[in-house]
Chain A
Amino acid sequence: MPHSGENLPMATSVSEKLVSLRNAGIEREGRWLVRGVDLSISRGEIVTLIGPNGSGKSTTARMVSGVLKPDEGRVEQARGLRLSYVPQKLHVDWTLPLTVSRFMRLTARLDESAEIHALEQTGIAHLRHSEIRNLSGGEFQRAMLARALARKPDLLVLDEPVQGVDFSGEIALYELIGKIRDEARCGVLLISHDLHVVMAATDQVICLNGHVCCQGTPTAVAASAEYKTLFGTRAAATLAVYQHHHDHMHLPDGRVRHADGTVTDHCHPDDGHHHDHDHEHDHEHDHEPGHEHGRDEGKAGTKNAG
């Protein structure tokens, strides 16, 4: 399922890059919401962002979408990129008369068959003429996903796309996202808490906690026994991933315990980048596989066996 096995010539694979972030960061009121993010999404690839609350997942998705301009670093979208975005929150005011059908056409002209097809894919074709504000939470998420799909995007940015959807529907929607990726060869950036469901279809996982903590392919991990114990419960999931990859550990309160036992507020403080230094140091002297950091773009994709 992962596309790492494809033997694309270098030039092609470079040109297939849909969007790339280089050392990108967003600062608000003197605080970095997220900083030093390196990531790229290629055609046919599903990249999943995980991380605790406030770790900058949505901020990163907004940078990828071009809604937020980075205060540091660069965001490059491929020329003429057709992007579909499913935001985490969308409130439709009651003064707005808006049916599902009109919502589908919000940013694109659609012919009727394309609209119905997308609604059928997400299983809400029967709600086509319903008012948006009378939909349930799960139905609304399906409508948002259908709208995004109907645009036939090159890149899908999905911020918690299955929130409020029941469990079986959740699996079906993730399968749909995987299928769309395979059929339409679009790239997908996915933000999700539901690691145990998402991981199977994901090509690359990026863990955020104000910066890129680690990234790599999840398949090797997912197949291993460790994965099953680590990801057995949702609560342990995000924390476990960090522990697994790093010499430092993110405590539940957001602080960081380093290998030497010291505890700091962040692993990427504004001042001296001491965290970076730590890691470069690690890379020189510690060749454990999977011990790569988000900064090392070239090494991204290393298996996280451990």
Chain B
Amino acid sequence: MLDDFFIRALVAGTGMALIAGPLGCLVVWRRLAYFGDTLSHAALLGVALGLLLQVSLTLAVLAVCVGVALVLLVLQRRANLSSDALLGLLSHASLAIGMVVLASMTWVRIDLMGLLFGDILAVSLQDIAIIWIGGGVVLAVLATIWRPLFAATVSSELAEAEGMNPARSNLVFMLLMAVVIAISMKLVGVLLITAMLIIPAATARRFAKGPEVMAVLSALAGIMAVAGGLFGSLSLDLPSGPAIVVAALLLFLLATALPGIGRRKRRENPGTSGGQA
């Protein structure tokens, strides 16, 4: 059955959506969308270095993403630049270095469009194995650190005071992000990974009463987007990566336009949660 390229794409995309869902929620809650972008741009540098050193591209991407995440942690503590400026610096510097390295390797012919926008229809059985095993590990780790990670998302100070270790949770979370980006790069490409983290989570927000529910709904929304995008790609002959993202966007718009439950929640109560005096 897995001989069919379409089925392979569906299985791979489902695996990606399952991990992107919960992690995407954390990205949205923690306002880390730009961090996701930075890591995915750094992935291109990983590809370039992987080709240069002739090692597994997935491993090279993973290593570079982890490296960039750690550099960011260090710079945030030391430098006098705001986080978004640091992210912009790392993001575009690694993208530019990646392009320079790729261009300098005249002996390598590389499909740049495939890197930027992914090629989910070309996934191999080995890719699927990497996605599902890697994804399983990511989900298992995430489940283990979920409580402290979520507590630190609500209030790092409170989590720290009550015996949790926000610094460790944050570090693990950043590493998980790196793994997800390394895994998803081949499917939707470096430019669209962040979309798969954010759009399904944003879609799920409206229907979720609790964080865990939102994580699950977000994964489901991601799977629907993958399926919809792939079918659209097949029937209308569209590029598959962008088609998946467009499908995710359509789902989001549909969810936003739906009347009912969402409306009541919109009733904002100013000064509620802050407790600001």
A interface with B by C-beta (< 8 Å) = 62, 65-67, 82-85, 87-99, 102-103, 106-108, 129, 131-137, 140-141, 144, 151, 157, 160, 163-164
Contact = CB atoms under 8 A, between A and B. Distances in A.
7 contacts: A85-B162, A87-B155, A90-B158, A90-B274, A93-B29, A134-B272, A163-B277
Interface in B77-109: none
Given A66-B160, A83-B163, A96 B154 contact: yes
Contact of B162 (A83, A160, A164): A83
A98 B268 CA distance: 14
Given A96-B211, A107-B164, A87 B157 contact: yes
Nearest to A106: B151
- Considering residues B151, B164, B273, which has the most beta carbons from chain A within 10 angstroms of its beta carbon? B273
Nearest to A141: B275
A93 B156 CA distance: 13
B263 interface: no
Interface stretch (B34-42, B135-143, B202-210, B245-253): B202-210
Nearest to B160: A67
Contact of B275 (A83, A84, A103, A164): A164
Contacts of B272: 132-137, 140
Contact of A132 (B214, B268, B273): B273
B: contact size bracket: 35 or more
Contact of A97 (B157, B158, B159, B213): B213
Contact of A140 (B31, B160, B161, B275): B275
Contacts, number: 110
A163 B159 CA distance: 21
Nearest to B271: A137
Given A66-B161, A106-B151, A97 B267 contact: no
A289 to B, nearest CB: 36
A82 B161 CA distance: 10
Nearest to A193: B277
A84 B277 contact: no
A141 B161 CA distance: 18
Contact of B269 (A136, A141, A164): A136
A66 B159 CA distance: 11
A185 B88 CA distance: 52
Contacts of B210: 97-99, 102
Nearest to B264: A134
Contacts of A133: 268-269, 272-273
Contact of B158 (A87, A132, A160): A87
Nearest to B277: A163
A123 B276 CA distance: 21
Contacts of A164: 275, 277
A82 B275 CA distance: 25
B231 interface: no
A134 to B, nearest CB: 5
Contacts of B205: 95, 97
Nearest to A109: B147
- Considering residues A94, A96, A98, which has the most beta carbons from chain B within 10 angstroms of its beta carbon? A96
A84 B276 CA distance: 20
A106 B161 contact: no
Contacts of A102: 210-211
Nearest to B206: A97
Contacts of B214: 97
B274 A91 contact: yes
A98 B274 contact: no
Interface string B145-175: 0011011011101111111100000000000
B161 A83 contact: yes
- Considering residues A88, A95, A141, A160, which has the most beta carbons from chain B within 10 angstroms of its beta carbon? A95
- Considering residues B31, B159, B162, which has the most beta carbons from chain A within 10 angstroms of its beta carbon? B162
Given A95-B205, A107-B147, A85 B269 contact: no
Given A96-B211, A134-B267, A134-B272, 16 more contacts: A62-B157, A62-B161, A67-B160, A87-B161, A88-B275, A89-B274, A96-B153, A106-B150, A106-B154, A107-B159, A107-B164, A133-B268, A136-B272, A137-B274, A163-B277, A164-B277
A65 B164 CA distance: 12
Contacts of B115: none
Nearest to B204: A97
Contact of B208 (A66, A85, A97): A97
A129 B9 CA distance: 41
A67 B150 contact: no
Given A97-B210, A99-B210, A163-B277, A65 B161 contact: yes
B28 interface: yes
B262 to A, nearest CB: 12
A85 B157 CA distance: 9
Nearest to A93: B29
B276 A89 contact: yes
Nearest 9 Cβ contacts at the A-B interface: A85-B161, A65-B161, A92-B273, A107-B162, A97-B208, A133-B273, A67-B160, A106-B151, A102-B210
Interface string B222-243: 0000000000000000000000
